[in-house]
Amino acid sequence: MIGNKALASSIKQEIRDFLKITLKLRLNDDKTKITNAKHEEAKFLGFRITKSRSFIQILIDIDKLVQKLKENGMCNASGYPIAMTKMQNKPIQDIIKHANNVLRGLLYNNQGCHNFWQAARIQYIIKFSTAKTIARKFDISMEKVFIKHGKSLNVSYTNPKGITKEISLSLFHSFARNKNILKRWIVKLKEHVVASYDTRNPLAKTMLHL
Protein backbone atom coordinates (compact mmCIF):
# COMPACT_ATOMS: atom_id res chain seq x y z
CA MET A 1 0.00 0.00 0.00
CA ILE A 2 1.01 3.64 -0.35
CA GLY A 3 0.66 5.45 2.96
CA ASN A 4 2.14 5.91 6.41
CA LYS A 5 2.51 3.30 9.14
CA ALA A 6 -0.53 4.52 11.05
CA LEU A 7 -2.75 3.88 8.02
CA ALA A 8 -1.17 0.46 7.52
CA SER A 9 -1.83 -0.41 11.17
CA SER A 10 -5.49 0.60 10.87
CA ILE A 11 -5.91 -1.56 7.76
CA LYS A 12 -4.26 -4.47 9.56
CA GLN A 13 -6.79 -4.05 12.39
CA GLU A 14 -9.68 -4.06 9.90
CA ILE A 15 -8.32 -7.31 8.43
CA ARG A 16 -8.00 -8.78 11.92
CA ASP A 17 -11.62 -7.86 12.73
CA PHE A 18 -12.91 -9.27 9.42
CA LEU A 19 -11.10 -12.57 9.92
CA LYS A 20 -12.30 -12.90 13.50
CA ILE A 21 -15.92 -11.79 13.11
CA THR A 22 -16.78 -12.93 9.60
CA LEU A 23 -14.54 -15.94 8.98
CA LYS A 24 -13.94 -17.03 12.60
CA LEU A 25 -10.18 -17.04 12.00
CA ARG A 26 -7.32 -15.60 14.02
CA LEU A 27 -4.64 -13.36 12.56
CA ASN A 28 -1.14 -14.53 13.44
CA ASP A 29 0.67 -11.37 14.55
CA ASP A 30 4.07 -13.07 14.45
CA LYS A 31 3.66 -13.80 10.73
CA THR A 32 1.67 -10.69 9.77
CA LYS A 33 4.09 -7.80 9.73
CA ILE A 34 4.11 -4.27 8.41
CA THR A 35 7.32 -3.59 6.52
CA ASN A 36 8.79 -0.53 4.84
CA ALA A 37 9.34 -1.58 1.24
CA LYS A 38 12.15 0.95 0.83
CA HIS A 39 14.33 -0.70 3.45
CA GLU A 40 13.22 -4.30 3.92
CA GLU A 41 11.55 -7.14 2.05
CA ALA A 42 8.44 -9.08 2.93
CA LYS A 43 8.10 -12.85 2.60
CA PHE A 44 4.74 -14.25 1.56
CA LEU A 45 3.81 -17.79 0.43
CA GLY A 46 7.35 -18.57 -0.71
CA PHE A 47 7.85 -15.20 -2.44
CA ARG A 48 10.10 -12.29 -1.52
CA ILE A 49 8.49 -8.91 -2.16
CA THR A 50 10.79 -5.92 -2.50
CA LYS A 51 10.73 -2.40 -3.90
CA SER A 52 13.21 -1.48 -6.60
CA ARG A 53 13.17 2.23 -7.44
CA SER A 54 9.56 2.98 -8.36
CA PHE A 55 8.13 -0.52 -8.78
CA ILE A 56 7.50 -3.64 -6.74
CA GLN A 57 9.46 -6.81 -7.44
CA ILE A 58 8.22 -10.31 -6.66
CA LEU A 59 11.12 -12.72 -6.27
CA ILE A 60 11.50 -16.45 -5.73
CA ASP A 61 12.81 -17.35 -2.30
CA ILE A 62 15.49 -19.70 -3.68
CA ASP A 63 16.86 -20.59 -0.23
CA LYS A 64 13.41 -21.73 0.87
CA LEU A 65 13.01 -23.90 -2.23
CA VAL A 66 16.41 -25.50 -1.62
CA GLN A 67 15.30 -26.21 1.94
CA LYS A 68 12.18 -27.92 0.59
CA LEU A 69 14.33 -30.07 -1.69
CA LYS A 70 16.49 -30.99 1.31
CA GLU A 71 13.36 -32.01 3.24
CA ASN A 72 12.33 -34.06 0.19
CA GLY A 73 15.66 -35.90 0.30
CA MET A 74 16.91 -34.48 -3.00
CA CYS A 75 19.90 -32.45 -1.77
CA ASN A 76 21.98 -31.67 1.29
CA ALA A 77 21.93 -28.42 3.26
CA SER A 78 24.23 -26.68 0.75
CA GLY A 79 22.03 -27.67 -2.22
CA TYR A 80 24.24 -30.48 -3.54
CA PRO A 81 22.05 -33.12 -5.28
CA ILE A 82 21.81 -36.54 -3.60
CA ALA A 83 19.94 -39.75 -4.40
CA MET A 84 16.41 -40.08 -3.02
CA THR A 85 16.76 -43.12 -0.77
CA LYS A 86 13.00 -43.33 -0.23
CA MET A 87 12.45 -43.70 -4.00
CA GLN A 88 15.28 -45.96 -5.14
CA ASN A 89 13.23 -49.16 -4.69
CA LYS A 90 10.30 -47.74 -6.66
CA PRO A 91 9.73 -48.45 -10.39
CA ILE A 92 11.79 -46.09 -12.52
CA GLN A 93 8.66 -44.42 -13.95
CA ASP A 94 7.52 -43.60 -10.41
CA ILE A 95 10.87 -41.95 -9.71
CA ILE A 96 10.40 -39.72 -12.77
CA LYS A 97 6.77 -38.97 -11.84
CA HIS A 98 7.81 -37.94 -8.34
CA ALA A 99 10.54 -35.67 -9.71
CA ASN A 100 8.05 -34.04 -12.10
CA ASN A 101 5.59 -33.41 -9.29
CA VAL A 102 8.30 -31.66 -7.28
CA LEU A 103 9.55 -29.73 -10.32
CA ARG A 104 6.11 -28.43 -11.31
CA GLY A 105 5.08 -27.77 -7.73
CA LEU A 106 8.11 -25.59 -7.02
CA LEU A 107 8.57 -23.77 -10.31
CA TYR A 108 5.33 -23.49 -12.31
CA ASN A 109 3.84 -20.61 -10.30
CA ASN A 110 7.20 -18.84 -10.09
CA GLN A 111 7.56 -18.16 -13.81
CA GLY A 112 6.42 -14.56 -13.38
CA CYS A 113 9.04 -13.71 -10.75
CA HIS A 114 11.71 -11.18 -11.61
CA ASN A 115 14.51 -13.61 -10.69
CA PHE A 116 13.04 -16.70 -12.37
CA TRP A 117 16.45 -17.26 -13.99
CA GLN A 118 17.67 -18.45 -10.58
CA ALA A 119 15.20 -21.34 -10.76
CA ALA A 120 17.69 -23.09 -13.03
CA ARG A 121 19.46 -24.11 -9.82
CA ILE A 122 16.31 -25.82 -8.54
CA GLN A 123 15.86 -27.73 -11.80
CA TYR A 124 19.54 -28.75 -11.72
CA ILE A 125 19.13 -30.23 -8.22
CA ILE A 126 15.99 -32.16 -9.18
CA LYS A 127 17.48 -33.45 -12.44
CA PHE A 128 20.70 -34.75 -10.92
CA SER A 129 19.00 -36.09 -7.79
CA THR A 130 16.74 -38.13 -10.10
CA ALA A 131 19.71 -39.36 -12.13
CA LYS A 132 21.57 -40.33 -8.97
CA THR A 133 18.52 -42.22 -7.70
CA ILE A 134 18.26 -44.21 -10.95
CA ALA A 135 22.03 -44.85 -10.88
CA ARG A 136 21.84 -46.21 -7.35
CA LYS A 137 18.76 -48.29 -8.19
CA PHE A 138 20.57 -50.11 -11.02
CA ASP A 139 24.06 -49.82 -9.50
CA ILE A 140 25.48 -47.93 -12.47
CA SER A 141 27.19 -44.58 -12.95
CA MET A 142 25.32 -41.36 -13.64
CA GLU A 143 27.14 -41.16 -16.94
CA LYS A 144 25.54 -44.43 -18.02
CA VAL A 145 22.13 -43.18 -16.86
CA PHE A 146 22.34 -40.14 -19.16
CA ILE A 147 23.73 -42.22 -22.05
CA LYS A 148 20.81 -44.63 -21.80
CA HIS A 149 17.97 -42.19 -21.02
CA GLY A 150 19.19 -38.88 -22.44
CA LYS A 151 19.36 -35.43 -20.84
CA SER A 152 15.64 -35.48 -19.99
CA LEU A 153 15.80 -39.03 -18.57
CA ASN A 154 13.29 -40.49 -21.01
CA VAL A 155 11.92 -43.86 -19.87
CA SER A 156 9.66 -46.41 -21.59
CA TYR A 157 7.52 -48.70 -19.44
CA THR A 158 4.45 -50.91 -19.62
CA ASN A 159 1.45 -49.85 -17.53
CA PRO A 160 -0.86 -52.33 -15.71
CA LYS A 161 -3.07 -52.54 -18.84
CA GLY A 162 -0.11 -53.73 -20.92
CA ILE A 163 0.19 -50.45 -22.82
CA THR A 164 3.67 -49.07 -23.51
CA LYS A 165 4.11 -45.54 -22.17
CA GLU A 166 6.91 -43.00 -22.15
CA ILE A 167 7.78 -40.49 -19.48
CA SER A 168 10.60 -37.98 -19.03
CA LEU A 169 11.47 -35.03 -16.84
CA SER A 170 9.32 -32.00 -17.67
CA LEU A 171 12.31 -29.69 -17.85
CA PHE A 172 12.06 -25.95 -18.48
CA HIS A 173 14.00 -25.11 -21.63
CA SER A 174 14.04 -21.41 -20.81
CA PHE A 175 14.17 -19.50 -17.55
CA ALA A 176 13.17 -16.19 -19.07
CA ARG A 177 10.56 -14.43 -16.99
CA ASN A 178 6.94 -14.84 -18.17
CA LYS A 179 5.41 -11.41 -17.45
CA ASN A 180 1.90 -12.59 -18.35
CA ILE A 181 1.72 -14.90 -15.30
CA LEU A 182 1.42 -12.04 -12.79
CA LYS A 183 -0.99 -10.17 -15.06
CA ARG A 184 -3.32 -13.19 -15.03
CA TRP A 185 -3.08 -13.30 -11.24
CA ILE A 186 -4.14 -9.66 -11.01
CA VAL A 187 -7.15 -10.30 -13.27
CA LYS A 188 -8.18 -13.24 -11.06
CA LEU A 189 -7.76 -11.20 -7.89
CA LYS A 190 -10.13 -8.53 -9.23
CA GLU A 191 -12.86 -11.03 -10.10
CA HIS A 192 -15.87 -11.03 -7.83
CA VAL A 193 -15.95 -14.15 -5.69
CA VAL A 194 -19.07 -15.44 -3.93
CA ALA A 195 -18.15 -17.57 -0.93
CA SER A 196 -20.30 -20.59 -0.16
CA TYR A 197 -20.15 -22.63 3.00
CA ASP A 198 -21.15 -26.24 3.60
CA THR A 199 -22.45 -26.36 7.16
CA ARG A 200 -23.04 -30.12 7.14
CA ASN A 201 -21.01 -32.20 9.56
CA PRO A 202 -18.70 -34.34 7.38
CA LEU A 203 -18.37 -36.84 10.23
CA ALA A 204 -22.12 -37.38 10.63
CA LYS A 205 -23.48 -40.70 9.43
CA THR A 206 -26.09 -40.69 6.68
CA MET A 207 -29.45 -41.85 7.99
CA LEU A 208 -31.48 -44.14 5.76
CA HIS A 209 -35.26 -44.16 6.18
CA LEU A 210 -36.85 -47.33 4.86
pLDDT, position 199:
63
Residue 188 is assigned to a structural domain of this protein: no
The answer to whether residues 156 and 95 touch, using CB atoms and an 8 Å cutoff, is no
Residue 30 is assigned to a structural domain of this protein: no
Residue 163 is assigned to a structural domain of this protein: yes
Element (H, E) at 179: helix 179-190
Q: Supply the range of the domain harboring residue 169.
A: 61-174
The answer to whether residues 169 and 127 touch, using CB atoms and an 8 Å cutoff, is yes
Q: What is the pLDDT of residues 149-190, one digit of tens each?
A: 999 999 999 988 999 999 999 999 999 998 887 777 777 777
Residue 187 is assigned to a structural domain of this protein: no
pTM of the model: 0.76
Residue 81 is assigned to a structural domain of this protein: yes
The domain total for the chain is: 1
Q: What is the pLDDT of residues 75-112, one digit of tens each?
A: 999 999 999 999 999 999 999 999 999 999 999 889 98
pLDDT-derived band at 57, boundaries 50, 70, 90 = confident
Residue 168 is assigned to a structural domain of this protein: yes
Q: Is the pLDDT of residue 209 over 70?
A: no
Residue 6 is assigned to a structural domain of this protein: no
Residue 164 is assigned to a structural domain of this protein: yes
Average pLDDT score over the chain: 88
pLDDT-derived band at 30, boundaries 50, 70, 90 = confident
